[in-house]
Structure 1
Amino acid sequence: MANRRRADDNVDDRLSDLPDCLLHDILSHLKARQLVQTCVLSSRWRRLWLTAPCLDIDAGEFASVASRQDKVRFKPLFGGKDGEEEEEDEDLDRFDDFVDSLLLRRSGCVSPLGTLRLSMPSAWSIWMRFHFDRRGSNSHTRWVRRGLRCSPATLDVSGIKLPPLTSGTHRLTKLRLYNVILHKDFETHLSSGLPVLEDLEVRCTEMSKISRIASHTLKNLTVDNSPTTNEGTSLKFAVDAPRLSRLHLVVQFKRLGVFAVTLSETTSPVHASICFLDKAKLRQVQGSCYYWQDDKNLLLALCKLLRSLSETVSSLELSGFQDMAVGEQHVPNFASPGTPWPAGAYQSQQTVQTSADSLPRPMLQAILDAEHNRSPLFPNLKTLVIDKCQIGDNIQTFWSLLQHTPALEKLTINNCECETFQYGAASYTLHKGGTASSLKLVEIIYNDGDDHEGQDTPQMEKILSMVQRDLPVTTKIHVSKMQK
């Protein structure tokens, strides 16, 4: 027993002898409760946690609290005994007191905070939590406000109503928001209250009231509206960031009423990624309201987005570009989007026959149709990735890409499909011009599982025959199977 105690003492001594930089690195990988518990390890660790560069407060760490938050605070939706509720209320109060005390003590520390991470997981949507639990939501907002007093360089929040970003943000270079309620003045705070912000990531967050993302320091921007929980939301904003170098846009059209995103001119080459998770459902009725975006308006919005990228984009990935909406639609004779749906409205419908330029065909082909949409030229584009896209059963899309990308060096076609459309390239004049002499490599990645039953020719062979036509002799073609 004495020998074991001496061995334990040696372990404690070795921990105490570690330099501060290494101890801080260890503490940065711990959750908040574990971080505070390190104070009992030795006298050296007693106050070391106060200077840890990362503070990670996750309600999920307190399993009993996280599971009881919804039950206790949404009492109108649950039953329960009074005694159980009182005990659970006490647990929640202790958790609130712990976080308040932790942030208050950390804000009094001279050492600046590197990363502040606040996560409030819940099975309920944030809007429902905010509606039923104003007290809890206000507590979470207070935690962000107190955390900003520590002047963090990175702020990562999830499941919280965001406070005004007007103080404690002079060191903030990275802002990650997941499933949050934005402050009503977030757009203004972004442009004037974050002087050194370089990375902005917004996911699963209502952005219908955001019309402009402006920052003179922003370099990396990620916007992902999935999963969308509210009906009739919109992504309709302009990005004004002259130093932007990376743009990642993920769009889920389910419940999305309007899409219109553009990018202002930048001073550096941009690596852009645009991913569509599903097909656009146009002129749609959802819930008690009518939301729609005309197929032509959506097509023009997509063209405008690519046109805004055309001059500066050097690397571009397009994912999920499928076929356009049907050309003939039964449209309710209704006034404007967002208006409550009146009784008997379904009895008054009109059939809209679209013109030839909006008949169903691959989305990429429709965008690159110079005759109708003034397709942009990408003079500086060197790398292009087409992923999970419908490129049609013809060479129209492929040739359009080559004609509009004179500096293209590498083209990757990943898991794409070729299908025959009734109103495909046969309805349009095929413009063949000089191929891109700079094109060095065409990479085709295929998946055997995507071949539909009854097809005479596999998808990969169709795409291969498409790209082989009149390519420069110096262009290499590499075909590989997708890794499972």
Structure 2
Amino acid sequence: MTTCTQPVRQNAAEEAIPYMGPDRLSDLPDALRLKILSTLDAKEVAQTCILSKRWQNLWASVPCLHFDYETFSTQSSKESHQRFLKFVTSFLLSIDKATKLDVFKLRCRLGDDDLYEGIGNDMSYFACMWITLAVERKVKKLQLKMWYYDCLRIPDSLFVCDTLEELDLSLVLEADEFVEVRPEKVNLPKLKRLRLSNIAIHEDYMKKIVNGCPVLECLDACCCSIVTRDVFFGGLKRLSVICCDFDCLDISRMVPGLDYLFLAGVTIDDISSNKMHKLTEARITCHGIEEGMECDVLGSLVNVEVLEFISISLMDVLEKALQKSLIFDKLRRLTLGDCCMICAFGFLSSLLEHTPKLETLTLLHGFLLEECCKVNGDHGQNSREKIEWFRCKCLKKVEIFCTASDSVPELVERVKLSTLGLNEVLVVVSTR
């Protein structure tokens, strides 16, 4: 019988420390260890320098840097702010100048001079310096999330980076406040994705940004104020607009090659009724219709394969689509709501006569029957008098998302009776 014994140290000083085997992590090639370090926060990366000689200087070559104020303190204090500012500045000034950054992420708080006494009064100076250092390191993906209270200046260096492929500029401000962006020059030849939050851009500067980003494919804007009266996004494929103040948002004219559209917190008159020929997926959550406004939004969406349309004015939108006899001959997935679907059932069944390839139908049943009838007048009464066949030959799945309501069983029964070949309807009840 062979007995396996654990190796022991030779000198007495080491005998008290058990031998843990070879350091396999340090034996890994530098490229693999750098990949591992890229998943850590910069503070944790810096701490690896004490592990061994092989780790001592490796932190200075990490291609993905993540700086987060929360790793220094969960409470706002002068000391934690000072430690964070000194750490980020020292780290960026110390990294190898030959290092090229794949990712630079920064989450920080700026402003409130009392917290920065002894470091500097203009906190935007530090943010500008960090961003500029990242640009000098040929950064590819730049993600900035900053809370601030005083005036913040976005450095011009951010808009003249010939390696930047993705830019996320998210600012957390007080309600109805924006940081105005006024770049003197824009040269972002490789930028494909741009995300903006709480940013204000005047028309002239928006033109600069569009012209300076020739390969831009995706634009996400949240709580922004943007003037786009004469702006043309020739190569844009994906557009997401959430609670933005867009002056002249004529999507079909501005973005003729759009493939994906997401709109939330907009009014229906913000959406062009001109047909978008290349659009394949649209998700729209909009407010009601202003009095006297035409409602032909679905006319621009007849080519889509996936459509989600949520509005308290849904029945008016459906009625307009039926008047124009719109045909959605490519539509495979359809989501509609958030109103009483029993009241809208007559319009719905008529619309589905014009969706020959529909496979999945999702209904958001939002209001109680009696409440919806009061809001929509005769719509509910007219639609209850007549139940029409869906006649969707390809329909495989119907989902109903609703709150607990006495009208839900009636809606389920109507769907089953009106759908040829469909035996099962999935109902998801929410407690909201």
Structure showing greater radius of gyration is 2
- Distance 1:263-1:470 versus aligned 2 partners, 3 A rule: closer
Distance 2:236 2:321 in 1: 36
1:466 counterpart residue number: 414
1:56 lines up with 2:3 in the alignment = no
212, 218, 223: which one aligns with 1:193: 212
Aligned residue type for 1:294: E
2:398 counterpart residue number: 443
Distance 1:67 1:49 in 2: 28
305, 309, 314: which one aligns with 2:305: 314
SS in structure 2 opposite 1:140?
A: helix
Distance 2:142 2:273 in 1: 25
C-alpha contact (below 8 Å) 1:446/1:460 kept by paired residues: no
C-alpha contact (below 8 Å) 1:442/1:476 kept by paired residues: no
- Residue correspondence of structure 1 range 412-451 to structure 2 within 5 A: 412-417=362-367, 419-420=369-370, 421-422=373-374, 423-425=377-379, 435-447=390-402, 449-451=403-405
C-alpha contact (below 8 Å) 1:315/1:381 kept by paired residues: yes
Aligned residue type for 2:102: G
2:331 counterpart residue number: 381
C-alpha contact (below 8 Å) 1:236/1:259 kept by paired residues: no
Between 1:237-246 and 1:371-380, the stretch displaced more is 371-380
Distance 2:273 2:167 in 1: 20
Aligned residue type for 1:367: V
Aligned residue type for 1:183: V
C-alpha contact (below 8 Å) 1:247/1:271 kept by paired residues: yes
- Distance 1:416-1:193 versus aligned 2 partners, 3 A rule: same
C-alpha contact (below 8 Å) 2:72/2:83 kept by paired residues: no
C-alpha contact (below 8 Å) 1:213/1:238 kept by paired residues: no
Q: C-alpha displacement at 1:61, in angstroms?
A: 2.0
- Distance 1:388-1:168 versus aligned 2 partners, 3 A rule: same
Q: C-alpha displacement at 1:191, in angstroms?
A: 1.4
Q: C-alpha displacement at 1:383, in angstroms?
A: 0.6
1:183 lines up with 2:201 in the alignment = no
Aligned residue type for 2:76: S
- Residue correspondence of structure 1 range 41-80 to structure 2 within 5 A: 41-63=51-73, 67-68=76-77
1:294 counterpart residue number: 290
1:120 lines up with 2:108 in the alignment = yes
- Distance 1:34-1:153 versus aligned 2 partners, 3 A rule: same
1:35 lines up with 2:33 in the alignment = no
- Distance 1:34-1:208 versus aligned 2 partners, 3 A rule: same
Q: C-alpha displacement at 1:366, in angstroms?
A: 0.6
SS in structure 1 opposite 2:46?
A: helix
- Distance 1:366-1:3 versus aligned 2 partners, 3 A rule: farther
Distance 1:316 1:463 in 2: 21
Distance 2:45 2:269 in 1: 44
Q: C-alpha displacement at 1:365, in angstroms?
A: 0.7
Aligned residue type for 2:302: S
1:114-167 Cα deviation digits (max 9, x unpaired): 22212225899xxxxxxxx98223432443343233333322221265444521
Q: C-alpha displacement at 1:442, in angstroms?
A: 4.0
Q: C-alpha displacement at 1:432, in angstroms?
A: 9.1
Distance 2:69 2:404 in 1: 42
1:397-423 Cα deviation digits (max 9, x unpaired): 312431443432221224544524241
- Residue correspondence of structure 1 range 212-291 to structure 2 within 5 A: 215-225=233-243, 237-239=249-251, 240-241=254-255, 244-251=258-265, 260-262=270-272, 268-275=278-285
Which consecutive residues of structure 1, in runs of 5 or more, have no partner in the other structure? 69-87, 125-132, 281-292, 323-362, 452-457
SS in structure 2 opposite 1:378?
A: coil
1:370 counterpart residue number: 320
1:95 lines up with 2:84 in the alignment = yes
Percent identity of paired positions between Structure 1 and Structure 2: 23
Distance 1:22 1:213 in 2: 45
1:296-345 Cα deviation digits (max 9, x unpaired): 44x64xx43x433333x2111234x22xxxxxxxxxxxxxxxxxxxxxxx
1:2 lines up with 2:11 in the alignment = no
C-alpha contact (below 8 Å) 2:322/2:351 kept by paired residues: no
Which consecutive residues of structure 2, in runs of 5 or more, have no partner in the other structure? 1-12, 113-119, 173-177, 184-200
Distance 2:60 2:42 in 1: 11
- Residue correspondence of structure 1 range 388-403 to structure 2 within 5 A: 388-403=338-353
SS in structure 1 opposite 2:84?
A: helix
Distance 2:235 2:93 in 1: 30
Q: C-alpha displacement at 1:172, in angstroms?
A: 0.9
SS in structure 2 opposite 1:120?
A: strand
Distance 2:105 2:50 in 1: 24
- Distance 1:372-1:412 versus aligned 2 partners, 3 A rule: closer
1:357-411 Cα deviation digits (max 9, x unpaired): xxxxxx1111122289858543322111235444352523312431443432221
Q: Count residues in correspondence.
A: 373
Distance 1:413 1:123 in 2: 46
1:135 lines up with 2:122 in the alignment = yes
Distance 1:375 1:173 in 2: 42
Distance 1:19 1:481 in 2: 51
- Normalization by structure 2: what TM-score? 0.70
- Normalization by structure 1: what TM-score? 0.63
Distance 1:212 1:143 in 2: 34
Aligned residue type for 1:271: E
C-alpha contact (below 8 Å) 1:393/1:418 kept by paired residues: no
Q: C-alpha displacement at 1:190, in angstroms?
A: 3.9
1:458-484 Cα deviation digits (max 9, x unpaired): 23222223334543x234542334488
215, 224, 233: which one aligns with 1:206: 224
Distance 1:248 1:196 in 2: 20
Distance 1:56 1:373 in 2: 55
1:188-244 Cα deviation digits (max 9, x unpaired): 3541233444444333x332545587545544433333xx9xxxx567534444554
C-alpha contact (below 8 Å) 2:234/2:255 kept by paired residues: yes
